[in-house]
Amino acid sequence: MTLAASLAVDLLLVFTPGADWAYAISAGLRDRSVVPAVAGLITGYAGYTLLAVAGLVVIVASSPTVLTVLTVAGAGYLVRLGWGVLRQPVRRRPRRRPWAPPACRSRSREPVSAA
């Protein structure tokens, strides 16, 4: 496999939506930084690329036992992530009025006097 073909396959992996995108999106919806999630995704893609370059992917693919163990472990990890999302779904908070400065916000609907 040429370098260009390898990079094309890697780009397809990155641009194809899947569980990795869902994880990054859920991190953003929970008002957390998506940087750790995306950094983990990039690390995984880089690791896969290094394994492919080293030829270890061919060895794993040719061994049904190793491939099955890795597949089951990956599926278990995805189930764990999914269970965590189902246990704590995203709760939308009411939007704040962007035009009101923080000092002027009150719990009542009455306008704040300028006195």
Q: What is the pLDDT of residues 54-99, one digit of tens each?
A: 888 788 878 889 889 989 999 999 899 889 888 887 666 666 655 6
**Per-residue pLDDT, 75:** 94
**Per-residue pLDDT, 76:** 96
Q: What is the pLDDT of residues 99-114, one digit of tens each?
A: 655 555 555 555 555 5
pLDDT at 13 over 60: yes
Q: How many angstroms separate the Cα of 80 from the Cα of each of 8, 18, 66, 73, 107? A: 30, 16, 21, 11, 39
Whole-model pTM? Answer: 0.47
Closest to 50 (Cα-Cα) out of 37, 42, 34, 110: 42
| Domain boundaries of the chain, sorted by first residue | 3-90
